Chain A
Amino acid sequence: MKKKLSLMFIAFGALAVLAGCEPLTIFDPKGPNAKTLSDTIILSIITMAFILLVVYVLLAFMLTKYRASKASADYEPPHEEGSHLLEITWTVIPIIIVAFLAIVTVRTTSTVESQPDGYDNKEPLVIYASSSNWKWHFSYPEQGIETVNYVNIPVDRPIEFKLYSFGPITSFWIPQLAGQKYAMSDMLTTIHLAADEVGSFMGRNSNFSGRGFAEMEFEAQSMTQEDFDKWASDVKAKEKPLTKEKFDELLKAEHVGRSSYSSTHLEFRPAPMEHSEHMKMGDMDHSKMNHGDHSDSQENSEAKHSH
């Protein structure tokens, strides 16, 4: 048992050391929402370490003190029914800990589900992020541009990502900026975030979505407002518009590199509605998207002959 305990401590030590020399991605936040989550996680780890310590100390005590090899041969363990006082203690203390963590959870959840603190007076930049097969489309209705597999955002401005999918459920995640959220085909979800500093961050789909899932990454780059404006107007001026045909071609493709367009697909293929509206719709046909054209339809015949 002691071996086990020391092993645990080595493991925790390793975690501490690793965390020390190069911060793990989610402990290296670059925006207020990711910072809130990082703080929440560290707080919960400290709380949990305390609980582990109590259990380990008690276990070590019982195992060293009450082993048969230490007891005399004729020692008869007593009959003990239990103790109300002790049982109430170890019910009430966990309840207090859980209540504390519940308050933390409710507060931080509502914090990260709304516009980041300190940005209340700024108009958020809305970006539609949609997934198809194993790529990401980013539409900027304000700028009238669209990108594939990379997204640029200005620092110090709140960003609202509106998420949806042209296929399987995916999960949009830029760990250093905010927690993840699902992108689904039949309703829109929202991620609020902001970037505090200029930098390049890994973004990916974290929800398994088939064969090309492992490579389904994108780069999220934060830049100053001037750089961002310049980039956006460059794209608007220099790139070709995204036609319906071109977009259908993109949807069908499995993996593509980066590309930019001077118009968005939202104009001819609007996004689905928000979650709250979706719930009101009941069982009506609420799909505004045409889904038929992005499957590998030639592989589909086997399933269809049954009906």
Chain B
Amino acid sequence: MSMEEVFHPMQEPMILAAAISIVVGAVVIVAGLTYFKKWGYFYKNWLSTVDHKKIGIMYIATALLMLFRGGIDALLMRAQTAVPDNGLLDAQHYNEIFTTHGLLMILFMAMPFVIGLMNIVIPLQIGARDVAFPRLNAVSFWLFAAGCGLLNLSFIIGGSPDAGWTAYFPLAGTEFSPSVGNNYYSLALQLSGIGTLMTGVNFIATIIKMRAPGMTLMKMPMFTWSILITNVIIVFAFPVLTVALALMMLDRQFGTQFFAMQNGGMDMLWANLFWVWGHPEVYIVILPAFGIFSEIIATFARKNLYGYKSMVMSMVVISLLSFLVWAHHFYTMGHGVMVNSVFSITTMAIAVPTGVKIFNWLLTMRHGKIQFTTPMLYALGFIPIFTIGGVTGVMLAMASADYQYHNTMFLVAHFHYVLIPGTVFGVLAGYHYWWPKMFGFRLNEKLGKAAFWFIAICFNVTFFPLFILGLDGYARRMYTYSESTGYGPLNMLSFIGGIGLAVGFALIVYNIYYSWKHMPRNEKADVWDGRTLEWATHSPVPEYNFAVVPTVTRLDEFWFAKKEGRDITAGKIEKIHMPNNTGTPFWMSGFFFLAAFFAVFNLWIPAIISMIGVFGFMIHRSFEKDHGRYISVEEVMATEKSLRGDK
């Protein structure tokens, strides 16, 4: 590949602008850190941290960045299709943009946002001092960051993947996609996917082994339950992605024929493997949102969660069914009435446990005392909008009818109606809800609510027209359409809604700045009058989370303790064992990044050298003796005293 080809994407003015802004941004950060002499601080406190709270914050920061990166993609798509025969983007650019929009939003926005929140909240909610494997947790994050960086780099160097986020073969094979874009796809997703798999192992171990004394499984908060189930799904689903991506890499870069059109390759094998991972993936990003809504609705209705047991059961059933429905993504491949009927029924069956959850949330509010805070608004907005996503999901589940919806805007509208009010509202609700726990001050409520209304209303303006367009035969992924189709006006409406959505998300970010400047500090530990253990410790949370690990006797222990006037954090302070920080995960992932980057361009010698670096770190780790360190009783007492202050 010549240099000219490598930098080919830069010839597009918009991509050049994006590239310049990324470079300028990087220079500003580097210069800023140097000028303020913060490199040491940055390395010691962030790059080499193993603290689950800081790792969580880094996940969320990345997710917000990617939300904007993917959001700009979305706006460009809506702008391009706002009027018929528009020439804003050409087909190639449009194809790259909808591909990266899907990849970024699912894998580098929704996933890290969910994983970030689970990192911050889970150890606190179960009364633990960190996750089971803190260093592995850092490896997870940095591998994710490496994958994320690699995918973003594709826009500047060599060209982005352009065969859709589903990368169906043979389109994604070298014959029809000769650029390196899909090499980036397989390698970037591989890196971050391995990171996610490690997260799955880590959090299952954490939740199974590290709960506070007395917290049996059925006394766990609903968010913890949702995360446990989510991580079980991750551990079962992600290996499939790992294998599929490895086969994709072999096909594209080593001449194998797994998904090829000749020599016995099967194109639909990729589609099957992809969706065997891809459908559970949907539940990986939605179940944590269900958990968040459960916490928030109970907190702000000031009532315990209605039907706790059936809420747990319904999530277990959803997780099992999530592995039995993948073929509904290609009813139209021609696999007979029998197969389609079976997958229709399993798919529609998911509506039952999901319905149970919706009714339980509604009944949680009955006899409650509902406070309309920002997180609660997201939870309440979720119910009516998500239900539209759910019922259209049932409509799509009907195989026969799907022959008319498949590959249309109806489908696009459906999954945005599920993922935005579900996942995005969920993580935004959680973000507003747990922000004071992370930073010790609240986000401004007025701005928060304004952003919610912008997002909730403009979301419907953006995506409802797409249902109608789909029913009118508008296929997805078309970069343009002719005026005679009559799709123009509704597309324009959708574009206008998209601008409104962008304003809403901009308000969310502005709120960070505004609240950082103006909101009162030293917020009390239990800002929302919460029910679960994370509210029992200080805000922001000290490194060791709990000076004394609370003992649990029932669900919502903290809530009942407050009512009875007990302090569940009281007790004798002892020295606390904590893991040491380490730069290894950061550097090792750096070498992983280099290896993958060289591999994208088939530069095998430097790739192998980089992998030797990776293995060097692993070998070093196996011989390293690091038993962690102790925080002395005096130090804990001093920290506690300063955090308690005059509260």
- A-side interface residues toward B, CB under 8 Å? 1, 3-5, 7-8, 11, 14-15, 18, 24-27, 34, 36-38, 40-41, 44-45, 48, 51-52, 55-56, 58-59, 62-63, 66-68, 71, 75, 77-83, 86-87, 90-91, 94-95, 98, 101-102, 104-106, 108-113, 167-169, 171, 173, 175, 178-182, 184-187, 189-190, 202, 204-214, 275, 283-287, 289, 291, 295-296, 299-300, 302-307
Contact = CB atoms under 8 A, between A and B. Distances in A.
A50 B349 CA distance: 18
A299 B267 CA distance: 21
Contact of B310 (A77, A82, A202): A82
A171 B369 contact: no
A35 to B, nearest CB: 12
Nearest to A49: B391
B136 to A, nearest CB: 33
B302 to A, nearest CB: 5
A113 B404 contact: no
Contacts of A178: 403
B381 interface: yes
Contacts of A87: 307, 310, 356, 359-360
A283 B257 CA distance: 12
18 contacts: A24-B468, A24-B471, A51-B387, A67-B370, A67-B372, A71-B369, A78-B367, A81-B307, A101-B394, A101-B398, A102-B344, A105-B398, A171-B406, A181-B403, A206-B476, A207-B407, A210-B163, A300-B178
Contact of B384 (A56, A104, A175, A187): A56
B309 A82 contact: yes
Nearest to A202: B473
Nearest to A113: B337
A208 to B, nearest CB: 4
Contacts of A24: 468, 471-473
A147 B285 CA distance: 47
Given A48-B391, A110-B337, A205-B475, 20 more contacts: A18-B468, A26-B473, A34-B404, A37-B403, A41-B401, A41-B471, A56-B384, A56-B387, A77-B367, A90-B356, A94-B352, A104-B398, A112-B400, A167-B171, A185-B170, A206-B408, A213-B91, A214-B480, A299-B178, A304-B255
Interface in B340-376: 340-341, 344-345, 348-349, 351-352, 355-356, 358-360, 362-363, 365-372
B401 A4 contact: no
B303 to A, nearest CB: 4
A181 B401 CA distance: 12
Contacts of B302: 68, 77
A204 B487 CA distance: 16
State the majority secondary structure of interface residues on B: helix
A63 B473 contact: no
Interface string B65-86: 0000000000000000000000
Contacts of B351: 94, 98
Contacts of B404: 26, 34, 37-38, 41, 175, 179-180
A307 B254 contact: yes
Contacts of B355: 51, 90-91, 94
A213 B477 contact: yes
Chain B: number of interface residues, binned into ranges: 35 or more
A44 B334 contact: no
A102 B388 CA distance: 19
Interface in B1-59: 1, 5
A179 B331 CA distance: 11
B588 to A, nearest CB: 26
Given A11-B460, A186-B267, A109 B365 contact: no
B642 interface: no
Nearest to B355: A94
Contacts of A27: 471
Pick the most buried of A26, A212, A307: most chain B CB atoms within 10 A of its CB: A26
Interface string B275-318: 00000000000000000000000000111101111100000000
B263 interface: yes
Given A55-B384, A78-B367, A275 B406 contact: no
Contacts of B401: 37, 40-41, 44, 105, 108
Interface string B449-467: 0000000110010001001
Interface in B238-282: 252-255, 261-268, 271
Contact of B261 (A81, A112, A287): A287
B337 A180 contact: no
A83 B266 CA distance: 51
Contacts of B475: 173, 204-206
B585 to A, nearest CB: 31
B344 A106 contact: yes
A264 to B, nearest CB: 21
A40 B334 contact: no
A181 B332 contact: yes
A190 B334 contact: yes
Contact of A68 (B262, B363, B370, B472): B370
Contacts of B467: 15
B133 interface: no
B333 interface: yes
A295 B473 contact: no
